[in-house]
Structure 1
Amino acid sequence: MNYFAHLHIASLTHTSWVGNLLGDFPVDAAQLDADLLMGWRLHQKVDVMVDQHDASVQFRSMPRKGRRRFAGIVQDIAMDYWLIQYWERFSQTPLDVFCHQALTGLVRDKERSPERLKNMISSLEKENWLSNLGTVDGVEKALFSIMRRWRHGEHLKAFVDDLEPVIEQARLPFLSLYPDLLAFVNEEMKKAEATHSLG
């Protein structure tokens, strides 16, 4: 899952918007405030669950030009695309309202964010592009952003060259995976609440 899905999970679990994105940014978890740490931990658990899910294994094994080793990166972004396409199935909040809520929450904790996340939030303040992640152009821009800053970025070019079929390949895996992910997150929050009450 990429930014949009982690923000959706933050809204469902009433955990920190910034905290739920921190798993994609370099941080020292030991230095995080308690609310950010909870979001960071949830992000880590989500990533592990998604990576191990049968639908993710299926997506990574599909025939395509891009190397299987890097398909998980593309899957995360394509899953955001499909979450936005199927938004009304998973949320009663209108998409534009949710994007505004997410931006407001991120700006609130902007100064507690690492520099690269601060820059991303500043970009969202100028133009809230979250809903654009549900377009082919938005997926392409997200991949090019990774390609620019990642030393192995050239390996994603094959996916970009065949982008629309690759996005379509993620549709059924997303529909299989995302309900399971939300159920998983719900159980994790119940466990956290039970632990807190015992403490």
Structure 2
Amino acid sequence: MNYFAHLHIAAVSNTSWVGNLLGDFPVDPSHLEVDLLAGWRLHQKVDVMVDQHAASLHYRSMPRKGRRRFAGIVQDIVMDYWLIQYWADFSVTPLPSFCDQAVQGLVKDKYRSPERLKNMICSLEQENWLPNLGTIEGVDNAIHSIMRRWKYGEYLQDFIDDLPTVIAQAEAPFLALYPDLLRYVEDEMQKAETIYRLD
């Protein structure tokens, strides 16, 4: 899951907006404040659950131009695309309202964010591009953003060249995976509450 899904998980779990994005940025968890650490930990658990889910394994094994070993990177982005397409199935909050709430929550803790995340939040303040992650252009931009930052970014070009297929292939895996993920997050939050009460 990429930025949008992790923000949705922050909302449903009532954990830090910034904390739930920190898993995608270089941080030292031992230096994080309690609320940010809880979000960071949830992000890590979500990533492991998604990577191991049968729907993800199926998606990464599908025939396409891009190399199978890099399909998981693209999967995170196209899962965001499908979450936005099916938004009304997973949230009663209208999409524009949720996107505004997410940006407001991120801005509130911008000062506690690492520099690259802080820059991203600043760009969201100027123009809330979260809904664009549900467009082909938004997916293209997100993949190109990774390509610019990552030393192996050139290997993602094949996915760009085959983008309509890459996106279409992710619809069924997303629908199989995301409800399971939300149940997993709910279970994790209940476990955390139980531990807190015992302490």
The separation in 1 between residues aligned to 2:112 and 2:164, in whole angstroms, is: 37
RMSD between aligned residues: 0.2
The separation in 2 between residues aligned to 1:75 and 1:145, in whole angstroms, is: 15
- Counterpart of 1:85 in structure 2 is 85
The separation in 1 between residues aligned to 2:73 and 2:131, in whole angstroms, is: 19
Shift, 1:62, TM fit? 0.1
- Counterpart of 1:198 in structure 2 is 198
1:74 and 2:74 correspond = yes
- Counterpart of 1:153 in structure 2 is 153
1:122 and 2:122 correspond = yes
Identity of aligned residues (%): 72
- Mapping 1:1-199, distance limit 5 Å: 1-199=1-199
The separation in 2 between residues aligned to 1:182 and 1:91, in whole angstroms, is: 11
The separation in 1 between residues aligned to 2:149 and 2:181, in whole angstroms, is: 29
**TM-score, structure 2 normalization:** 1.00
Deviations along 1:104-149, whole A, 9 cap, x unmatched? 0000000000000000000000100000000000000000000001
The separation in 1 between residues aligned to 2:73 and 2:169, in whole angstroms, is: 14
Shift, 1:29, TM fit? 0.1
SS in 2 for 1:64: coil
Unaligned runs of 5+ residues in structure 2 are: none
Displacement over 2 Å in runs of 4+: none
- Aligned residue type for 2:49: M
The separation in 2 between residues aligned to 1:145 and 1:64, in whole angstroms, is: 21
Deviations along 1:156-194, whole A, 9 cap, x unmatched? 000000101100000000000000000000000000000
Shift, 1:92, TM fit? 0.2
- Aligned residue type for 2:84: I
The separation in 2 between residues aligned to 1:41 and 1:131, in whole angstroms, is: 26
- Aligned residue type for 1:144: H
The separation in 1 between residues aligned to 2:153 and 2:115, in whole angstroms, is: 21
- Aligned residue type for 2:89: R
- Aligned residue type for 1:57: L
